[in-house]
Amino acid sequence: MTEKARAAKLVAPYGGKLVDLLVSGDERGILVQKAKQLPSIQISFRSVCDLELMATGAFSPLDRFMGEKDYRSVLREMRMADGTLMPLPITLPADSIDGLEIGGELVLRSPTNDMLAIMLLEEIFSWDLEQECTAVLSTADSRHPLVSEMHTWGRYYLSGPLTVLNLPRRNDFPELRRTPAAVRTLLEAMGRDHVVAYQPRHPMHRAHEVLTKAAVEEAGGSLLLQPIAGTTGHGDQEHFTRVRCHRTLIENYYDPGRTLLNLLPLAVRMAGPRAGLWHGIINRNYGADQLIIGGDPHGPGTDSRGRALYASRDVQEFFLALEDEIGVRMIPLKEMVYLPRKDRYEAADTVVHGSEEYIRVSSTKVIEESLFRGTRLPEWFTHPEVAQILYEANPPKTQQGFCVWFTGLPSSGKSTIADILMPLLMAAGKKVTLLDGDVVRTHLTKGLGFSKEDRITNILRVGFVASEVVRHEGVAVCALISPFEVARDQARALVGGERFIEVFVDTPVEVCEVRDVKGMYTMAKNGKIKGFTGVDDAYEPPRSPELCIDTVAVPPDKCARMIMTLLTEKGFLTTNNREAARQVVRQDLLPEMSNRPATGLWLERP
């Protein structure tokens, strides 16, 4: 038997063996019938992803959602109670524990009510949001998408042994969705003991191809390409396009005898260095003993003050310090430069001090200069097959959807500016949906009250509708008080950070009171209305909105034009778009506006 034909001896799973929580056959049939009589809870899509990876062994040695001892220990020391290194807590939040009893069984169901697993409930414990965020993410800033999401989690965590009846249904790319055991079998058949894993967040281009092939050659191993197809990071390309690009690249440019593409149904945490280490453990369970760690800091970018949450060097240094313990060697992603005379890429450290002409490549800059402007990516940057997929999936930025989200005190001028902005955008050729706070409450959120919980629900419902409008390349103009920063940040995460334009209508409360045609401020001050924002309920101003408008100094038509200018600067509008809209500042209102006193320009919708 040749060396290549023999079955490879891969690195053992983390902890020694793969966890397997699935039942089958007659046992499963009996348990399914039993489960129909048990109480049940619906778990989030994030928890569904966690359950699937736990059931199939990707989170080995973890065999349940963490109990309190393991959870507290992981927060403090990144270790489970038995000393096993585990960078992140894997927990199951619950909104309500009514009807749940320690020692009883309950069924875990998906958000669409599919039966997934039976849990023997052993623990119910409370958790502290700020403590967990600070320990795991190093920030409690709600601009971090996971922080804002955690504000919606239940107050309790549940834990206990799991019996998994069904894995979640995945209808996209079923041939690429394999368990760790199945991946290991395929890698073993390739006959190479070493496996290099790579988890690209974005479509791969020629530089990535050169780097991954070089890493595999140096290791004398196989390549496991594992893009994430669960819940991805803030601003990441949706996985359908990414997977099509990866598959095309592998089918045309990689050796099928030493390359495997597999989709990982992971709910990312964007937790910086801890997340990088966690990904190393997961890839070991799939059979990899080496992991390419690049410039991705495993985070969402910046916080609400514009500061980077994590640095790529932090991820690499943290991983390097613990790679021996997790049994996965880090391969740092080197900078690649393009040599135009030879039409190839090489590592920068091999050419930058020589006489060879080279180009430092910024993927972001190349994409912005071509794809976002409606042209295909150049062949020196990416292969034509990949360029075509990306061209079809990504309209020019001027054709992409976006959301303008007005926030401010009641009667600050949000609706007034929105009413002027809407025809400006339509004159520029945009399809606009206006989601005004008062109108929304008569339809979409009718029945909600004004408690903090209901107000957050109101904001998130509008955010969801806006995200769907934007996803289909429309424009959503939202005008709501939206007093809570965390709820606005959740709306931002729903829409996508690059497409969310937060406009703070910064108007002093005493001016708002003068403009209030409904008399709400007066009624609130007289005690006839409780919980009124600006009187007896706080408003949390944005810390870093895309635009802050002083409506005392600037009239409403100019405010709308400021927003049009900002949208042009961000690439959503062309100069021609803006010129076409120049004469459409509500011509029916201009004569009336010119005859009003300054406060009359800001009359809010009754």
**Whether residues 82 and 101 fall in one domain:** yes
Q: What is the pLDDT of residues 46-73, one digit of tens each?
A: 999 999 999 999 999 999 999 999 999 9
**Whether residues 358 and 436 fall in one domain:** no
Higher pLDDT, 230 or 243: 243
Residue 403 belongs to domain with CATH number: 3.40.50.300
Per-residue pLDDT, 370: 84
Whether 576 is covered by a domain: the verdict is yes
Higher pLDDT, 595 or 152: 152
**Whether residues 551 and 579 fall in one domain:** yes
Whether 293 is covered by a domain: the verdict is yes
Nearest to 248 by CA among 366, 84, 353, 392: 392
Q: Look up the domain containing 406 and give its range.
A: 397-602
Q: What is the pLDDT of residues 188-240, one digit of tens each?
A: 999 999 999 999 988 999 999 999 999 999 999 999 999 999 876 545 567 89
Q: Which of 312, 412, 467, 482 is catalytic?
A: 482
Whether 18 is covered by a domain: the verdict is no
* pLDDT surpasses 70 at 577: no
- C-alpha–C-alpha distance, residues 222 and 10, integer Å: 11
**Whether residues 59 and 186 fall in one domain:** no
Whether 169 is covered by a domain: the verdict is no
* pLDDT surpasses 70 at 4: no
C-alpha distance from residue 528 to each of 202, 327, 511, 519, 533 (Å): 54, 66, 21, 11, 14
**Whether residues 495 and 558 fall in one domain:** yes
With cut-offs at 50, 70 and 90, classify the pLDDT of residue 273: very high
- Please identify, among 336, 371, 393, the residue that sits at the C-terminal boundary of a domain: 393
For the chain, how many structural domains are there in total? 3
**Whether residues 160 and 209 fall in one domain:** no
**Whether residues 152 and 245 fall in one domain:** no
- Please identify, among 164, 186, 218, the residue that sits at the C-terminal boundary of a domain: 164
* pLDDT surpasses 60 at 426: yes
What value does the mean pLDDT take over residues 525-550?
93
Per-residue pLDDT, 187: 98
**Whether residues 376 and 411 fall in one domain:** no
Q: What is the pLDDT of residues 445-504, one digit of tens each?
A: 888 888 899 999 999 999 999 999 999 999 999 999 999 999 999 999 999 888 999 999
* pLDDT surpasses 70 at 524: yes
Per-residue pLDDT, 294: 79
Per-residue pLDDT, 333: 85
Per-residue pLDDT, 595: 42
Residue 154 belongs to domain with CATH number: 3.10.400.10
- Report the run of H or E that residue 442 belongs to, with start and end: none
What value does the mean pLDDT take over residues 372-393?
91
CB 92 within 8 A of CB 36: no
Mean pLDDT taken over the chain: 91
**Whether residues 378 and 418 fall in one domain:** no
Q: What is the pTM of this model?
A: 0.86
Q: Give percent above pLDDT 90 in the chain.
A: 76
Q: What angle do CA 182, 64, 160 make, to 5 degrees?
A: 145
Whether 8 is covered by a domain: the verdict is no
Q: Give percent above pLDDT 70 in the chain.
A: 93
* pLDDT surpasses 70 at 318: yes
96 is annotated as an active-site residue: no
Per-residue pLDDT, 374: 84
* pLDDT surpasses 50 at 591: no
Neighbours of 514 (CB within 10 A): 12
**Whether residues 458 and 496 fall in one domain:** yes
Question: 485-495 and 452-471 are packed helices; what angle lies between their axes, rounded to 10 degrees?
Answer: 20
Neighbours of 372 (CB within 10 A): 16
Whether 13 is covered by a domain: the verdict is no
**Whether residues 84 and 154 fall in one domain:** yes
Strand 432-436 versus strand 402-407 pairing type: unpaired
Whether 591 is covered by a domain: the verdict is yes
Residue 373 belongs to domain with CATH number: 3.40.50.620
Helices (H), 399-484: 414-427, 437-440, 452-471
**Whether residues 160 and 191 fall in one domain:** no
Q: Could you tell me the two tokens for 477? A: 């103009």
- Report the run of H or E that residue 252 belongs to, with start and end: helix 239-253
Whether 220 is covered by a domain: the verdict is yes
- Please identify, among 359, 393, 427, the residue that sits at the C-terminal boundary of a domain: 393
Nearest to 278 by CA among 78, 88, 144: 88
* pLDDT surpasses 50 at 20: yes
